[in-house]
Copies of this chain bind each other. A is one copy, B any other.
Amino acid sequence: MAASEAPLVLVVEDEPAQREVLGYNLEAEGFRVAKAENGEEALLLVDEESPDLIVLDWMLPSVSGVEVCRRLKSRADTRAVPIIMLSARSEEVDRVRGLETGADDYVVKPYSIVELMARVRAQLRRVRPSSVGETLEFGDIRLDAESHRVYRGDHTLKLGPTEFRLLATFMEKPGRVWSREQLLDRVWGRDIYVDTRTVDVHIGRLRKALCQHGGEDPVRTVRGAGYALG
């Protein structure tokens, strides 16, 4: 287990671009990051660096992600380190097998960064409860990432998955204006093509959800630019 500074996340991914993107986002979230591009390197780094969490690609050259996972989970000293598995949609059939090898969570590509970060925090909280308390607040709105619940005042709000991720994105940086493209990228995921106007519809749904028990509309439309919270 790493020292009591920022949690160290080990990213194991053979595709360089994806590795960089993951690293960048994790660092932006305040984590320290170590990177490995194959199974051997990953196993070495686990011994050398003692990461607090591992993000592990399913498909890797030579020693596969599954194998890495299996080995770590059979060692007493590494068994407790949370592992989040990544896999392409076509490999989804192996979901059960992925969890069976001992992975703690499992994310299908293409994934939304917001969602992945939420899962990373959730896993870390399980192991290091103090370091990552994750409830976002803005005005009378409270968002609890772990339980996937949103409160406004005394009421619990009911919102769909996409609305939740939208709101989570907004609440990460209240006031910041997000373009439709940026929202599509963060909330929907990067490899997905949907019309930008779809964002408008979901903004509408989010607004309705946020005001279902009354209160002001906290979502601001910035003409020609995008949307923001507050």
Give A contacts to B, CB under 8 Å: 16-17, 20-21, 24, 58-59, 64, 66-67, 70, 91, 93-94, 96-97, 100-101, 146-149, 160-161, 173, 175-177, 181-182, 185, 190-191, 222-225, 228
Q: Which residues does chain B contribute within 8 Å of A190, judged by CB atoms?
A: 93-94, 96-97
Question: Contact at A66–B96, with CB atoms within 8 Å?
Answer: no
Q: Which residues does chain B contribute within 8 Å of A181, judged by CB atoms?
A: 96
Interface centre among A20, A21, A161, A185 (most CB of B within 10 A): A20
A146-B177, A228-B147 known; A97-B24 Cβ under 8 A: yes
Q: Which residue of B lies closest to A144 (CB)?
A: B175
Bound state CA distance, A181 and B106, in angstroms? 15
Q: How far is the CB of A15 from chain B (nearest CB, A)?
A: 10
Question: Contact at B67–A20, with CB atoms within 8 Å?
Answer: yes
Question: Contact at A20–B64, with CB atoms within 8 Å?
Answer: yes
Q: How far is the CB of A197 from chain B (nearest CB, A)?
A: 18
Bound state CA distance, A158 and B161, in angstroms? 33
A59-B16, A64-B16, A97-B185 known; A175-B161 Cβ under 8 A: no
CB-defined A-B contacts under 8 Å, sample of 23: A16-B59, A16-B64, A17-B59, A17-B91, A17-B94, A21-B66, A21-B97, A24-B70, A24-B97, A93-B190, A93-B191, A94-B190, A96-B190, A100-B182, A146-B173, A147-B176, A147-B177, A147-B228, A148-B177, A149-B175, A160-B223, A160-B224, A161-B224
Q: Which residues does chain B contribute within 8 Å of A222, judged by CB atoms?
A: 148
Q: How far is the CB of A65 from chain B (nearest CB, A)?
A: 9
Top 9 A-B pairs ranked by shortest CB distance? A161-B224, A147-B175, A96-B185, A148-B177, A20-B66, A17-B91, A93-B190, A148-B222, A146-B176
Other-chain contact of A225, B91, B93, B161, B185 (Cβ < 8 Å): B161
Bound state CA distance, A98 and B185, in angstroms? 12
